[in-house]
A and B are shown apart, each in its own frame.
Chain A
Amino acid sequence: MPDDEIQVTEPLTSTTSEGQDIRPGELLVPEDTYLTAGVHIGTQQKSASMRHFVFKIRYDGLYVLDIKETDRRIRLAAQFLARFPPDKILAVSQRQYGQKPVRIFAKTIGAVSFSERFVPGSLTNPNLAEYIEPKVLMVTDPATDMQGLSEAVSVGIPVVGLCDVNNETRNVDLVIPCNNKGRVSLATIYWLLGREVLRARSGSEAEPAYPLTIEDFQAAL
């Protein structure tokens, strides 16, 4: 039987660990912060390239992500982004619920953001007013942020991508497996990424000054 046919029965609104064996203090935030935001809730379709990030399939057919791996990847992505000059990081989101999180995230870490429309040529056409030369691109969804992704490929810069279970990971150089569709999930991920980039830059294990809350990153309903 393929691993995607495992049947698991549990309530839809479960805020338990959903069977993921996580010890207290192992994650960047309490496990409940991820679970109530639905960061681990994937889609009903699964791409071949995302299959190894899947923890299990829920009784209702939704793939559930391995929250420990999501957490680990947020740390890695933050360390990775922290190695670039702040203003050479470009974060984008065509996805509506990602636009505010991306804006606040970019402002928090001193990066540039294109929320809403990505003007074609922004990375490739020096004659455009929007033209910039970032050294790394952060996409909220490789599918909806296809234009930015394709231009990053053209100019040879690495790409960090939030990837849901149904995403293709082509041309993404570092995957953060997560729910990249939910309003609270996107706010939680960018809130955490912002905090961890600042922490990585400070080079200290100590909690950096970070007065922002997940709510500050949430798009309006």
Chain B
Amino acid sequence: MIARADLRCTSCGRGLAGRGATAFLCPSCGVETIGRDARCRDQSVPYKCKNCGFVGP
């Protein structure tokens, strides 16, 4: 679950390099990898799974 530089934030499309970002499998379908960069996490910007449509957080 380490944020990797080649992953992108599901909400805003920015890269996930740097402190504060994370990546995890969609809580609903477990298929799609959800990326969240530090800014979107901190501001609780919603993310939407491209596979199942789940909206988090």
When C-beta atoms are compared, the residue in chain B nearest to A134 turns out to be: B1
When C-beta atoms are compared, the residue in chain B nearest to A135 turns out to be: B1
Instruction: Count residues of A near B (Cβ-Cβ below 8 Å).
Output: 21
Query: Known interface pairs A173-B22, A173-B56, A175-B57. Does A153 touch B41 (Cβ–Cβ under 8 Å)?
Result: yes
Among B19, B24, B28, find the residue whose CB has the most chain A CB atoms closer than 10 A: B24
CA distance A136 to B1 in the complex (A): 8
CA distance A169 to B2 in the complex (A): 21
When C-beta atoms are compared, the residue in chain B nearest to A82 turns out to be: B30
Contacting pair A49 B1 (CB below 8 A): no
Within 8 A of B (CB), among A111-155: 135-136, 153-154
Contacting pair A158 B44 (CB below 8 A): no
Contacting pair B57 A153 (CB below 8 A): no
CA distance A157 to B34 in the complex (A): 12
Q: How large is the interface on B (under 10, 10 to 19, 20 to 34, 35 or more residues)?
A: 20 to 34
Q: Does A83 contact B (CB under 8 A)?
A: yes
When C-beta atoms are compared, the residue in chain B nearest to A172 turns out to be: B57
Contacting pair A173 B42 (CB below 8 A): no
Query: Known interface pairs A156-B2, A157-B1, A174-B57. Does A79 touch B30 (Cβ–Cβ under 8 Å)?
Result: yes
Contacting pair B36 A173 (CB below 8 A): yes
Contacting pair A80 B27 (CB below 8 A): yes
Residues of the B chain whose Cβ atoms lie less than 8 Å from the Cβ of A76:
27-28, 54
CA distance A217 to B16 in the complex (A): 38
Contacting pair B27 A170 (CB below 8 A): no
Q: Does A171 contact B (CB under 8 A)?
A: yes
CA distance A170 to B36 in the complex (A): 12
Contacting pair A170 B43 (CB below 8 A): yes
Within 8 A of B (CB), among A33-53: 49
CA distance A136 to B23 in the complex (A): 11
Contacting pair B19 A174 (CB below 8 A): no
Contacting pair A153 B56 (CB below 8 A): no
Residues of the B chain whose Cβ atoms lie less than 8 Å from the Cβ of A157:
1, 22
Contacting pair A154 B36 (CB below 8 A): no
Given A76-B27, A173-B34, A173-B57: 7 more A-B contacts, CB < 8 Å: A136-B1, A153-B22, A154-B20, A156-B1, A156-B2, A158-B24, A171-B44
Interchain Cβ contacts under 8 Å between A and B, 7 examples: A76-B54, A83-B30, A156-B22, A170-B44, A171-B44, A173-B34, A173-B56
Interface residues of B (CB under 8 A from A): 1-3, 19-25, 27-28, 30, 34, 36, 38, 41-44, 54, 56-57
Interface residues of A (CB under 8 A from B): 49, 76-77, 79-80, 83, 135-136, 153-154, 156-158, 168-175
